[in-house]
Chain A
């Protein structure tokens, strides 16, 4: 079974500082990995994905994520946080080899960027 773990319920960072939101995954085959962001009372917005190739993936709004197969991790990063980045972030995985289409989400990490 595929699963995703986001070990931190909340991450606090000062504006201008780098941020990292952690994600580890477990799949039986090869993973497709995704990051989504959710603002209050809004749908989930796609940020970036890892399919294959370069382990460092760049996405929307200056976010990037690094795929690490040996550590089964896909941490979300941004060099300089903005107050407007404050939101709920979800990591998600899809198992490429089982053929299942569904995304399995982590429990989410709330990012709070202080001015």
Chain B
């Protein structure tokens, strides 16, 4: 079965640089979520999109922005990177449909961002 695809899988950037993470949801999933998992921590919700509109927002820094495109893929743009941004960034997708919020989220393998 098709899964959530994230690219790149690993990314090394220097402080103050920018990074773009990409997420391709499972086919027919119209909702995309972004989470950040620091070392030894639980995943923290950043932002979500439904039908290309932002639907929920968590603890996402102002330096970060995201969008969902017409093909439902999403990109997380991160600027002025800081050492503390080093983490595993997960994208998840789910169908919206009639089930609404009862659907589970399917996670991608994550992008490991290292800021040096």
Where the two chains meet, the residues of A that have a C-beta atom closer than 8 Å to any C-beta of B are 32, 34, 36, 41-46, 49, 51, 90, 94, 96, 99-108
Contact = CB atoms under 8 A, between A and B. Distances in A.
B45 A107 contact: no
The prevalent SS among residues of A at the interface is loop
Contact of B104 (A34, A96, A100, A104): A34
Interface string B34-76: 0100000111110010100001101000000000000000000
Contacts of A41: 112
30 contacts: A32-B102, A36-B107, A42-B109, A42-B110, A43-B4, A43-B90, A43-B108, A43-B109, A44-B43, A44-B107, A45-B107, A46-B105, A46-B107, A49-B102, A51-B102, A90-B42, A90-B43, A94-B101, A96-B102, A100-B56, A101-B31, A101-B33, A101-B50, A101-B55, A102-B45, A103-B33, A104-B45, A105-B43, A106-B42, A108-B42
Given A32-B102, A102-B48, A102-B56, 12 more contacts: A32-B101, A36-B107, A42-B109, A42-B110, A43-B107, A43-B109, A44-B92, A46-B105, A46-B106, A90-B43, A99-B101, A101-B31
A101 B33 CA distance: 9
A45 B48 CA distance: 19
Q: Closest 5 interchain pairs by CB? A: A102-B45, A105-B42, A43-B107, A44-B107, A43-B109
Contacts of A46: 104-107
